[in-house]
A and B are shown apart, each in its own frame.
Chain A
Amino acid sequence: MSAGIRRFAERYPVGMAGGAIMLLVVLAAVLAGVVSTHDPTRTDAAHTFVPPNAQFWLGTDHLGRDIYSRIIHGARVSLAVGIACSLIGGVAGGAVGLVSGYVGGRADTVIQPTLDIMQGFPLLVLALVMTAALGPSIETVVVAISVPFIPRIARVVRASVLSIRETSYVEAARALGANHIRVALRHILPNTVAPLIVMSTAQLGSAILVEASLSFLGLGVPEPYPSWGRMLSVSAAEFAQRAPWVVIFPGLAISLVVFASNLLGDSLRDFLDPRLRL
Chain B
Amino acid sequence: MIEPRPFRWALGALLVCALGIGSAWGATVAPKAGGVLNAMHREDPPSLSIIEEATISTNWPMMPCYNNLVLFDPMKANESPATIIGELAEKWVWQDDGKTLVFTLRRGVRWHDGQAFTSRDVKYTFDLVREAPGIATRLRLNPRKQWYAQVQSIETPDPATVVFRLKRPQPSLLMLLASGYSPIYPAHVPAAELRTRCVGTGPFKLKEYRPGELIEMVRNPDYFVKGRPYLDGIRFIIIKERGTRIAALQAGQLDVTMPQEGTKTAADQLRKAVPRMVFIVTSQNINDNILVNFKRAPFTDPRVRRAVSLAIDRRGYIQAVRQGGAIVGASMQPRPWGVWGLLPEALTGLPGGGDGAKGKVDARQLLTEAGFGPGHPLRIVVATRGIALYVDMATFVIDQLKQVGIEATLEQVESAQWFAKLTRGDYGLGANLTGIGADDPDANFYENYYCGSPRNYSDYCNPEVDRMIDAQSQTLDPTRRRVMVAEIQKRLEIDGARPILGWDLDYVAMWPFVHNLVPHTSVYSYARFQEVWLDR
Interface residue A218 (Cβ < 8 Å from any Cβ of B) = yes
Whether A238 and B242, one on each chain, are in contact in the complex, defined by CB atoms closer than 8 angstroms, is yes
Q: Is B391's CB under 8 angstroms from A242's CB?
A: no
Known: A43-B320, A233-B388. A238 touches B395 (CB 8 A): no
- The answer to whether the Cβ of A239 comes within 8 Å of any Cβ in the partner chain is yes
Given contacts A41-B395, A41-B399, A233-B388, is CB(A63)–CB(B320) below 8 Å? yes
- The interface bits of chain A over 36-68 (1 if a CB of B lies within 8 angstroms of the residue's CB, else 0) are 000001111110100000000000001110000
A43 near B412: Cβ-Cβ < 8 Å = no
* Complex contacts, B396 vs chain A, CB 8 Å: 43, 63
Question: B241–A235 contact, CB under 8 A?
Answer: yes
* Closest chain B CB from A50 CB (angstroms): 14
CB contacts under 8 Å to B, within A200-242, are 218, 222-224, 233-239, 241-242
| Cβ–Cβ contact A235 & B243, under 8 A | yes
CB nearest to B386 among chain A residues: A218
Residue of B244, B319, B321, B411 touching A237 (CB-CB under 8 A):
B244
Whether, in the assembled complex, B246 has its beta carbon less than 8 Å from a beta carbon of chain A, the answer is yes
The verdict on A136 contacting chain B, using a C-beta distance below 8 Å, is: yes
B247 interface residue (CB < 8 Å to A): yes
A135 at the interface (CB under 8 A from B): yes
Q: Does B466 contact A (CB under 8 A)?
A: no
A238–B248 Cα gap in the complex (Å)? 10
Pairwise interchain contact B243-A238, C-beta atoms closer than 8 A: yes
A238 contacts B246, C-beta separation under 8 Å: yes
- Are the C-beta atoms of A238 and B386 separated by less than 8 Å? no
B392 contacts partner chain A, Cβ-Cβ < 8 Å:
yes
Q: Which of B244, B273, B399 contacts A235 (CB 8 A)?
A: B244
Bound together, the chains give a CA A167 to CA B412 distance in angstroms of 55
The 8 Å CB contact of A42, one of B242, B399, B409, is: B399
Q: Which of B247, B273, B321 contacts A63 (CB 8 A)?
A: B321
Q: A45-B316, A218-B386 are in contact. Are A223 and B410 (CB under 8 A)?
A: yes
Q: How far is the CA of A102 from the CA of B323 in the complex (A)?
A: 64
In the complex, which residues of chain A have a beta carbon less than 8 angstroms from the beta carbon of B412?
Answer: 136, 222-223
Nearest B residue to A221 via CB reads B412
| Residue picked from B244, B394, B399, most chain A C-beta under 10 Å | B399
Kindly provide the distance from the CB of B264 to the nearest chain A CB, expressed in whole angstroms.
12
Instruction: Name the residue among A218, A234, A235, A238 with the largest chain B CB count within 10 angstroms.
Output: A238
Hey, which chain A residues are within 8 Å of B394, CB to CB?
223
Would B410 and A224 count as touching, CB distance under 8 A?
yes
How many angstroms from the CA of A43 to the CA of B403 in the assembled complex? Answer: 12
Asked if B243 and A239 make an inter-chain contact with CB atoms under 8 angstroms apart, the answer reads yes
Does B269 sit within 8 A of A, measured CB to CB? yes
List, in ascending order, chain A residues with CB within 8 A of B273's CB.
241
A43 touching B243 by the CB < 8 A rule?
no
A151 to B265, CA, bound (A): 48
Residue in A45, A135, A242 whose beta carbon sits within 8 Å of that of B269 in the complex:
A242
Known: A41-B399, A223-B395. A234 touches B323 (CB 8 A): no
Residues of B within 8 A of A48 (CB): 320, 323
Closest residue of B by beta carbon distance from A241:
B269
Q: Which residues of B contact A222 (CB under 8 A)?
A: 386, 410-412
In the complex the two chains form, is B386's CB within 8 Å of A237's CB? Answer: no
- A135 CB contacts on chain B under 8 angstroms: 414
**B243 close to A237 (CB less than 8 A):** yes
Within 8 A of A (CB), among B195-253: 241-244, 246-247
The answer to whether A238 and B319 touch (CB under 8 A), given A41-B399, A218-B386, is no
CA A242 – CA B272 in complex, angstroms? 11
| Residue pair A63, B410 in contact (C-beta under 8 Å) | no
- Min CB distance B437 to A, Å, is 29
For A233, the chain B residues whose CB sits under 8 A away are 388
Note all chain B residues with C-beta closer than 8 A to A45: 316, 319-320
Q: Which residues of A contact B243 (CB under 8 A)?
A: 234-239
Contact with B along A118-150 (1 / 0, CB 8 A): 000000000000001001100000000000000
Residue of B nearest to A239 (CB): B243
Closest to A242 in B: B269
> Closest approach, in angstroms, between the C-beta of A139 and any C-beta of chain B?
14
Provide the residues of chain A in CB contact with B321, threshold 8 Å: 63
B window 232-286: CB within 8 A of A: 241-244, 246-247, 265-266, 269, 273
B287-318 contacts to A, CB under 8 A, are: 316
CB <8 Å contact, B386 and A136: yes
Query: Across the two chains, which residue of chain A brings its CB closest to B242?
Result: A235
Q: What are 13 inter-chain pairs, A to B, with CB distance below 8 A?
A: A43-B399, A45-B320, A48-B320, A62-B265, A63-B395, A136-B414, A223-B395, A224-B409, A235-B243, A237-B243, A238-B269, A241-B269, A242-B269
> CB within 8 Å of B: which residues of A?
41-46, 48, 62-64, 132, 135-136, 218, 222-224, 233-239, 241-242
Closest 9 A-B residue pairs measured CB to CB?
A235-B243, A238-B243, A45-B320, A237-B247, A45-B319, A222-B412, A223-B410, A235-B241, A235-B244
Q: Told that A63-B392, A136-B386, A223-B410 touch, could you supply 7 new A-B pairs with CB distance under 8 A?
A: A41-B399, A43-B320, A48-B323, A62-B265, A222-B386, A223-B391, A238-B269
